[in-house]
C-alpha cells in the first residue's frame, strides 16, 4: 500500500491539528444548537469520526450514499442516491460532511435535495477542496485544506476501495491507477 504513494501531502499530525481547529470553530458557531452531521459515504467516514469528537455541542450522525455515473476518478454530475438518510431533517441544523469537493457536482445535487426537506439550516464542511476543478459554484462553510489538482487517497479517500485506512493524505503514483 505505502509503495503506491508518491508523496505525503498531509500528515496525520497536520490533519488532526486542523480538525481540532475546525471543531473549535464549529462549536463556537453552533453554540446553543444541535448539529445533525450528514456524512457522505464512504469517503467522509474517517474525517467525520474525528471531527465529531472535536465538537463540543450535541451532534447526531446520519449518512447518505451517492454515486455518480461516469469514469472512476471524475464525477459526471449525474448523481444517484444509493442510501438515503434515516432521519427526518425538517427543522434541524444540517452540517454536510464531505471528504473532498472536486467539480462540486455531487454537493450541488445534495444541497438541492436536502433543501427541499426544509431543514432549519444547511452548512457544508469538507476536509479537502480542489477549487481548480470546480464546475459549479458551491459555498463551502468549513474547508480543511485547499489542495492542488492531484488524485489523493488515504484518511477515508480511496482508489477502487483501496487506501482508505492510510492515516495520512497521499498522492497516488500514476502506476497505481493502472494495476
Q: What does the binding site for ligand XMP look like in residue numbers (CB under 6 A)?
A: 43, 75, 98-107, 151-153, 157-159
- CA neighbor of 156 nearest in space, from 82, 96, 99: 99
Q: For the chain, report the end-to-end CA distance as a whole number of angstroms.
A: 12
In this structure, what C-alpha cell is assigned to residue 110? 445534495
| 157 vs 176 by CB, closer to ligand XMP | 157
Contact 118, 136 (CB under 8 A): no
In the region spanning residues 33 to 52, those forming contacts with Mg ion, defined by CB under 5 A, are 43
State in angstroms the smallest separation of the CB of 128 from Mg ion: 12
In this structure, what C-alpha cell is assigned to residue 75? 464525477
Active site residue 102: yes
State in angstroms the smallest separation of the CB of 146 from ligand XMP: 13
What whole-number distance in Å separates Cα of residue 114 and Cα of residue 135?
20
Q: Point out the catalytic residue in the list 88, 102, 137, 149.
A: 102
Q: Per-residue x/- marks for Mg ion, 57-76, CB under 5 A?
A: --------------------
State in angstroms the smallest separation of the CB of 128 from ligand XMP: 8
Running DSSP on this structure, what letter comes out for residue 72? T
- CA neighbor of 26 nearest in space, from 47, 46, 56: 56
Picked from Mg ion, ligand XMP, none, the partner binding residue 152 (CB below 5 to 8 A depending on kind) is ligand XMP
Catalytic residues: 102
Residues contributing to the site for Mg ion (CB under 5 A): 43
Amino acid at each position: 500500500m505505502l509503495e503506491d504513494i508518491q508523496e505525503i501531502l498531509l500528515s496525520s499530525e497536520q490533519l488532526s491539528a486542523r480538525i481540532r481547529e475546525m471543531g473549535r470553530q464549529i462549536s463556537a458557531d453552533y453554540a446553543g444548537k444541535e448539529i445533525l452531521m450528514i456524512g457522505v459515504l464512504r469517503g467522509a467516514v474517517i474525517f467525520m469520526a474525528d471531527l465529531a469528537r472535536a465538537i463540543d455541542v450535541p451532534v447526531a450522525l446520519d449518512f447518505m450514499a451517492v454515486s455518480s455515473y461516469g469514469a472512476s476518478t471524475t464525477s459526471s454530475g449525474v448523481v444517484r442516491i444509493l442510501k438515503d438518510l434515516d432521519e427526518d431533517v425538517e427543522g434541524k441544523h444540517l452540517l454536510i460532511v464531505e471528504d473532498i469537493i472536486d467539480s462540486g457536482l455531487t454537493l450541488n445535487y445534495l444541497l438541492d435535495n436536502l433543501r427541499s426537506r426544509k431543514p432549519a439550516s444547511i452548512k457544508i464542511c469538507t476536509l479537502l477542496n480542489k477549487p481548480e476543478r470546480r464546475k459549479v459554484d458551491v459555498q463551502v462553510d468549513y474547508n480543511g485544506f485547499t489542495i492542488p489538482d492531484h488524485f489523493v487517497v488515504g484518511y477515508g479517500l480511496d482508489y477502487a476501495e483501496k487506501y482508505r485506512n492510510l492515516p495520512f493524505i497521499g498522492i497516488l503514483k500514476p502506476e497505481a491507477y493502472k494495476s
